[in-house]
Structure 1
Amino acid sequence: MKSPGRTLVTTAAAAVLCVGFPLSAQAAEGLLFYTSEYGPIVLENPADGLCYSVGNAQDPQNSTDRVATVYSEKQCRGDATRLKPGAEGFLSFASVKFTR
């Protein structure tokens, strides 16, 4: 027969494992519009926390439900500008990351 303490520890460990690890990546819902050297581009439902390199882009319009931080350089480096949901910027950028 198992002791009550051992059962409690096993149950607690199982709960931590179930709650501690998400089953799928979170994503922003919506669209980011911008202009590239190739014309208008749309980024749909981007994943949270990933850095998207967008080349020589400009005039971002954040129509997602997350904050879009646009960076002046590739790999989310350089000067950063935060765009709240629904905001747009009249600037050039090379990469973007979405966060809550």
Structure 2
Amino acid sequence: MRLRSVITAVLGAAVLLAATPGSAAAATGQFRYSYETVEGYEASGFLNNPPSGRCINLHGVGQENPQPGHSPKNRTDAWATVYTGTDCRGDSFRLRPHTGGASERLKLRSVIFN
């Protein structure tokens, strides 16, 4: 009888583990960029612990702003690929983890971490 209880408990635990969704992968750290607002002011944008494997359109430099972002700094623990267009389209450039950065000549509107 005890063996049946142990087997039932083990099977129950296995079912719970299988049903529990895994935590979403995320890059740890901060990604920063600069941009000019529609009103003409210089601003900074940042992403804290951004999700991995998902394209992120950057705030302030989307289709509503004719000026793209610039001067990205990748301070996360993952590679960041920045794109000149929204939805991770257009020309791209990869920034290494922790120390990756570029000058204001690199224009960007979206990023993906992997």
Does TM-score exceed 0.5, indicating one fold? yes
Cα distance in 2 for partners of 1:97, 1:40 equals: 18
Query: What secondary structure, in the 3-state scheme, does the structure 2 residue paired with 1:75 have?
Result: helix
Please list every run of 5 or more consecutive structure 1 residues that lacks an aligned counterpart in the other structure. Answer: 1-10
Cα distance in 2 for partners of 1:50, 1:37 equals: 25
Q: How does 1:1-100 map to 2 (within 5 A)?
A: 18=18, 23-38=22-37, 39-54=43-58, 55=61, 56-85=68-97, 86-90=99-103, 91-99=106-114
In the TM superposition, structure 1's runs of 4+ consecutive aligned residues that sit over 2 Å from their partners are: none
TM-score of the superposed pair, with normalisation by structure 2: 0.66
Please list every run of 5 or more consecutive structure 2 residues that lacks an aligned counterpart in the other structure. Answer: 1-10, 38-42, 62-67
1:28-80: per-residue Cα shift (whole Å, max 9, x none)?
00000110224011210000011111212110000000000000111001111
Cα distance in 2 for partners of 1:65, 1:42 equals: 15
Give the number of the structure whose alpha-carbon radius of gyration is greater: 2
Q: Which amino acid counterpart does residue 88 of structure 1 have in structure 2?
A: G
The CA RMSD measured in Å over matched residues stands at 1.8
TM-score of the superposed pair, with normalisation by structure 1: 0.75
Q: Which amino acid counterpart does residue 84 of structure 1 have in structure 2?
A: R
